[in-house]
Amino acid sequence: MSYDFDLFVIGAGSGGIATARRAAEYGAKVGIAEVDRLGGTCVNRGCVPKKLMVYASHFSDLFRDAVGYGWSPVKSEFDWPKLIRVVNDEVTRLNGIYQRMLDKSNVEVFEGHAKFVDSHTVTIGDRTLTADKILIAVGGKPVKPDIPGIEYAITSNEIFHLEEQPKQAVVLGGGYIGVEFACILKGLGSEVTVIIRRDKILRGFDEDVRTEIQEGMQRHGIRILTETTIDSIDKLDSGKLQLNLSGAEDTVIADAISLAAMGRKPNLEGLGLEHTQVKTQNGAIVADEYNQTDDPDIFAVGDCIDRLNLTPVAINEGRILADTKFGGKSRQMSYENVPTAVFTTPEAATVGLTEAEAREKYGDAVKVFRSKFRPMYHTLGGREEKTLMKLIVDGDTDRVVGAHMVGENAAEIIQGVAIVVKMGARKADFDATVGIHPSSAEEFVTMR
């Protein structure tokens, strides 16, 4: 049978674009559909604009640090509308780059919502297109809890378009997105309260990392209400929002409420999956180790399979799929030792097993090495900042099975450490490596 495309991709986010371009490199005829802007969550509502706001949030501390190094005090005022404008201008610039990349790869772009008619056919508006293989790469979206007044709350999608900076902001939930935005807003001058149902933020991360970040956030003036749930939200005559709580306090008042950390779910509504053999479980698409769904010619990558929701993972899944199906290079994605970072203040990054995971896997053989210190940078600046570094070792083999860091430049440092952890380096290899002095990173090769 003749098809319009060898591969058609639904969703032009990081995973979808990576797959489309790699398949096209192998000579496949590729089409891609996107209902929103090119680049998906990461470029438009996630990694990129968020990191730019993280950078902006650090300047208030840098101005104060400079005085300890002999600079005269700086009096500076923050311009929220300008930051929002320039951040979104950068996003627009990146959208154009993605369009040019797809054009250069001869990938045909369709604007609109794609919906399955059958396993080889989709409709986009009044157009009907066929493909030998179809990839679902629609990503995920924030979810809101079903509570009275939830319509007054925003998510991480809307925070990049707020016209005015909230003077009093509340973040509901202690996931990485929520605590990142809490730190951003605090650094930009907002009063910030974080409300979590448990006793600690960042469930799933190493316990030392969770503790260090939470204490650091509180040290920077962020109020964290633990073991607290929200019952309802009321809009007051003043325009402010009142959160009615069960737990530490009865009510909290805010200008804006972000639900960035209340979870995300695969964005599967309206895809027409019922017209295919694709199965879902717990709201996510079921796919095998080759990212193939129960329909033999339909595949899925990225957040819509809810496996490991990171942009570089989606990109790698997509490229591996294209290599396997169009490049004659059968490969599988490895989810072991994938590094990740949390761009809070203080920043954190990690690769490999947490201490709890290591003890469950290796038992009493686990050895833990920690170092906690004040970085040299702050000796003159005067801020009471700490850096935590932690190595987790399987004592039977001496292999480093986990590395964790909380502190400035954690992501940059752990990226390099991740390579050697992925290669199976031993603690003896770390010990035999000469450190770069003076640097924070040298602690990873001097811990005893």
Say which amino acid occupies 85.
R
CA dihedral sign of residues 59, 65, 69, 74: positive
Cis status, amide bond into 145, omega within 30 of 0: no
Name which of 73, 81, 261, 104 is nearest 178 in CA terms: 261
Three-state SS at 39: strand
Active site residues: 437
Q: In angstroms, rounded to a whole number, what is the distance separating the alpha carbons of residues 29 and 263?
A: 36
Q: In angstroms, rounded to a whole number, what is the distance separating the alpha carbons of residues 144 and 262?
A: 7
CA dihedral sign of residues 420, 423, 427, 433: negative
8 A C-beta contact, residue 400 and residue 426? yes
Secondary structure E strands in 47-139: 108-111, 114-118, 121-124, 127-136
DSSP 271: S
8 A C-beta contact, residue 142 and residue 46? no
DSSP 40: H
8 A C-beta contact, residue 268 and residue 280? yes
Secondary structure element (H or E) that encloses residue 229, with its range: strand 229-235
DSSP 209: H
- Complete edge-to-edge strand list for the sheet that includes strand 223-225: 223-225, 191-195, 168-172, 256-258
Q: In angstroms, rounded to a whole number, what is the distance separating the alpha carbons of residues 406 and 32?
A: 40
Backbone φ and ψ of 171, nearest 5°: -115, 125
